[in-house]
Amino acid sequence: MAGGGLGLRGAHRPVALLLVLVAAAAGAAAGKGKGAHAGTSRLRFRRESGTFKVVQVADMHYADGRATGCEDVLPSQVAGCSDLNTTAFLYRVFRAEDPDLVVFTGDNIYGADSTDAAKSMDAAIAPAIDMKLPWAAVIGNHDQEGTLSREGVMRHLVGMKNSLSGLNPEGVEIDGYGNYNLEVSGVEGTSLAEKSVLNLYFLDSGDYSTVPSIKGYGWIKASQQVWFQQTSSSLQRKYMNENPKQKEPAPGLVFFHIPLPEFSSFTAVNFHRSKTGEGY
């Protein structure tokens, strides 16, 4: 949990751990039965609840376990607080939420504080593997600052147990490491069991700008946007043209580390119309 930032351009404030729960429910996918856990070959909506729950874990900033202290805790909490608290927290959340998928969205490790990047990553992801949860990851701006390159970190993530992470699509010129997508099928035994009713995309949003006139974090490149658009429209066509044909495209979610520039203009004014009518 040491140092670093969420990756918000212009606001490099350390954020210890961001956790978002995404529960997507597709009406057509509702029914009865067990959820998609490791061991079953594909991700799919649950029968009883008709839901597919994703726990997103960002910015663990994991390093050397017990030897790495906590940031952003009260002065009274510093003593005895380490990466092991992050591990304990993940176990508590996973037990409470029983997710169908865990997505680690970067700065999973804090490379600069880590003695051995592979070892730090193994420890960071361990609760998901130990609990046999399907999981996927993208990298942030700090993962490669240790003993592994960006490519090395991503290759390690892809090779870990129960990992659904991918490298880049085959035969495509694309920026970054770890641009891939996952399909989530409808409930077993229903007409949508063989279709992707939720499309998940994972993008490498880079680390830092390499353009001298632009300071700060990296961004998603045009090559990645093209791949995303092509993959998305092909999945949408399939969903609407193949039997049972659907009227609307399936929903999609994209996971990446560095927020879009628009995120920094998303403030309280986005929630309230100001007296002058400005603020949109």
- The residues that touch ligand NAG, with contacts defined as CB under 6 A, are 73, 77, 80-81, 85
Nearer to ligand NAG by Cβ, of 38 and 73: the residue is: 73
Is 123:62 a contact under the CB 8 Å cutoff?
yes
Q: How far is CA 35 from the centre of its chain?
A: 20
CA–CA separation, 233 vs 227, rounded Å?
Answer: 10
Min separation Cβ 131 and ligand NAG, Å: 19
Min separation Cβ 84 and ligand NAG, Å: 6
Tokens of 11: 């606001």
Nearer to ligand NAG by Cβ, of 16 and 118: the residue is: 16
- Amino acid of residue 250: A
Nearer to ligand NAG by Cβ, of 85 and 162: the residue is: 85
Nearer to ligand NAG by Cβ, of 81 and 126: the residue is: 81
CA proximity to 23, closest of 53, 62, 64, 65: 53
Min separation Cβ 77 and ligand NAG, Å: 4
What Cα–Cα distance (Å) separates residue 240 from each residue in 156, 173, 190, 215, 245?
Answer: 36, 28, 17, 43, 5
Give the contacts of 116 (CB within 8 A, at least 6 positions apart): 146, 147
Min separation Cβ 125 and ligand NAG, Å: 19
Min separation Cβ 274 and ligand NAG, Å: 39
Nearer to ligand NAG by Cβ, of 73 and 93: the residue is: 73
